Amino acid sequence: MIEIKHLRLLQALAEEGSLSAAARSLGYSQPAVTQQIQRLEADLNTPLLTRAHTGVRLTGAGEVLLRHGASVLSTLALARAEVEAVAGLRAGMVRVASFPSAAATVIPHAFAAVTQRHPGIAFTLLEALPDQALELLRNGECDLAVVYEYSTGFETEPLPTSAAADEMSTELLHENVYIALPREHPASRRRQVAMRDLSAERWIAGCPSCRGNLTTACAAAGFEPDVAFETDDYVALQGLVVAGLGVAMVPDLMLAAVHPDESLVLRRLSPAPMRRTSVVTSASLMKVPGIRQTVEALRTAAQCLRLVTVA
């Protein structure tokens, strides 16, 4: 019979690469680990590990069991987190994962509003990109994931597929996405810039995992962006654009987080990209008063946010 302890053991073996290291991480003795693996291999009638002088690695059968086991362990962790929240075992703690510009703008106002009305509620905040935030939520490591998805005018960049049937998303706001140009750029004199006219530009973009909106928009316009500088720092991005080292796509929340430099020119794009920001949780967690109040506060804070006006 496959037990939860076996799944945790396989996970530890895959991560640690040796029987002794896996035993230490789980608080077992090495003989106990060896006996558990041997018993599981006998029950399944197939080897799960191959042993070498450098350690151990999973066989094909072991990899299959690990893949399914990771899903089981993730579901159990999420179930435990939801039970603790519903039962009040975390004493009013709401754990939020969010991408940086929302963490710098919407979230502080929401947290302040909730704590003012309900002093017993406390928060933790982790900065994470949408796919990371959703993974934390699905692993039971956060209660709310503040995420975004882009629409380029041609297609929408989807969020990672939901792992839980009862996941629910609450929309916070729709953001405009602009092209940021140095003042001396020829396109700065236009009110609207066509994406196809930027094919020869050098681009300033975020990390490869968070620039899908740029690559999708450029591909739709018939070219691949020449990314000259990579930064997730809003101030650095502005400085690089102002210095004439490239152009960049910037959404409303990024501009709200850092007041634009006077030498930075913002223009609307054609086709006009948009970004939708939402907060994701589970239906079970939404029943917890502190989590429901936080979602409501996030909606209010997003609606009251003062965004930069671009003609």
Looking at residue 212, its pLDDT comes to: 82
**Total domains present in the chain:** 2
Q: Does residue 157 share a domain with residue 262?
A: yes
Domain range enclosing 21 = 4-83
Here the CATH number for the domain that contains residue 20 is: 1.10.10.10
- Residues 32 and 132 reside in one and the same domain: no
* pLDDT score at 97: 97
Looking at residue 281, what is its pLDDT? Answer: 94
Residue 154: its pLDDT value, please? 46
pLDDT in tens, 115-156: 998 888 899 999 999 999 999 999 889 999 999 998 865 454
Same domain, yes or no: 45 and 157: no
Work out the average pLDDT over 172-177.
Answer: 93
For residue 185, give the CATH number of its domain.
3.40.190.290
| Confidence grade of residue 263 (pLDDT, cut at 50, 70, 90) | confident
Residue 248 has pLDDT above 90, yes or no: yes
For 29-63, how does the pLDDT look when each residue is reduced to its tens digit (9 = 90+)?
Answer: 888 888 888 888 888 889 888 887 778 888 988 88
Question: What is the mean predicted confidence (pLDDT) over 160-183?
Answer: 82
Q: What percent of the chain has pLDDT over 70?
A: 93
> Is the pLDDT assigned to residue 160 strictly greater than 80?
no
Domain end, chosen from 48, 83, 118, is at: 83
Are 13 and 34 part of one and the same domain? Answer: yes
For residue 158, the model assigns a pLDDT of 53
Q: Considering the domain boundaries, does residue 214 fall inside one?
A: yes
Q: What is the 3-state secondary structure (H, E, C) of the chain?
A: CCCHHHHHHHHHHHHHCCHHHHHHHHCCCHHHHHHHHHHHHHHHCCCCEEEECCEEEECHHHHHHHHHHHHHHHHHHHHHHHHHHHCCCCCCEEEEEECHHHHHCHHHHHHHHHHHHCCCCEEEEEECCHHHHHHHHHCCCCCEEEEEEEECCCCECCCCCCCCCCEEEEEEEEEEEEEEEECCCHHHHCCEEEHHHHCCCEEEECCHHHCHHHHHHHHHCCCCCEEEEECCCHHHHHHHHHCCCCEEEEEHHHHHHCCCCCCEEEEEEECCCEEEEEEEEEHHHHCCHHHHHHHHHHHHHHHHCCCCCCC
132 and 44 in one domain?
A: no
The pLDDT value recorded for residue 180 is 93
In a shared domain, residues 213 and 249? yes
Q: In this predicted structure, what is the pLDDT of residue 173?
A: 93
What rounded mean pLDDT belongs to the chain?
Answer: 87
Q: Is the pLDDT of residue 91 over 80?
A: no
Q: What is the mean pLDDT of residues 212-224?
A: 90
- Does residue 240 belong to any structural domain of this protein? yes
Q: Do 64 and 99 fall into the same domain?
A: no
Domain's final residue, options 34, 63, 83: 83
Q: Does a structural domain hold residue 88?
A: no
**Percentage, residues of the chain above pLDDT 90:** 42
Q: Model-level pTM?
A: 0.71
